[in-house]
Amino acid sequence: MRGWMRDVRSIDKVMRSSDVVQVLKSTSPLYKPGDLAHGTVGWQEYAIIKPSDDVVKIKAFPGVSPSTYLGVLGLTGLTSYFGLYEVGEIVRKGSPNCTVVVSGAAGATGSVAAQIAKHVFGCRVIGIAGLEDKCEYLVKALGLGVTRNYKSKMFFKELVQGNAYAD
């Protein structure tokens, strides 16, 4: 995404995007009709693409929508996982006694990060959001034990208090 933020004119060009595509016809031994692939193909009904590092064949799983590869099984999920694993060093520092604070916990990447921290690594998670209904969603839908509304006048005090909780 960062590379797309340049000041480049794109009038009369295909809008760039990360896409899941279905192969209709192929001359490559890597792809056959019906295969699904993920890559930067753009907003278009049909495209001619060449096998490359930018287009990767994906496996279809029963009951899993191909669009899932654009979210939790795509960049959103990878950002969440590697943010916790590489940047946060959750495996090395994490333990059943660890606490992870997720800002933007009701957003796409934050909600995935919160769930990975809680359900995969077993950490206590404090979710931060900007509306009470989002905080309620984090508790009821995602199972977080503690949430904090950053718009609250008592936010910093509540955040410090939340850090001592046991899930």
- In 3D space, the residue among 100, 13, 21 whose CA is nearest the CA of residue 58 turns out to be 21
Residues with Cβ within 8 Å of residue 123, at least 6 apart in sequence:
90, 94, 95, 96, 98, 99, 100, 117
Interatomic CA distance for residues 62 and 48, integer angstroms: 27
Q: Say if residue 52 is in the same domain as residue 27.
A: yes
User: Does residue 107 sit in the same domain as residue 88?
Assistant: yes
The domain total for the chain is 2
- Within 54-144, residue ranges assigned H as helices are 75-82, 90-93, 108-115, 132-140
Q: Are residues 98 and 62 in the same domain?
A: no
pLDDT one-digit tens code per residue, 41-81: 889 999 998 877 688 899 888 999 999 999 999 889 999 99
Residues 82 and 50 both lie in one domain:
no
Residue 1 has pLDDT above 80, yes or no: no
Residues 65 and 102 in one domain: no
Overall average pLDDT of the 70-99 stretch: 86
pTM surpassing 0.85?
no
Assign 41 to helix, strand or coil: coil
* Domain assignment of residue 46, given as a range: 14-69
Q: Which residue, 69, 101, 132, sits at the end of a domain? A: 69
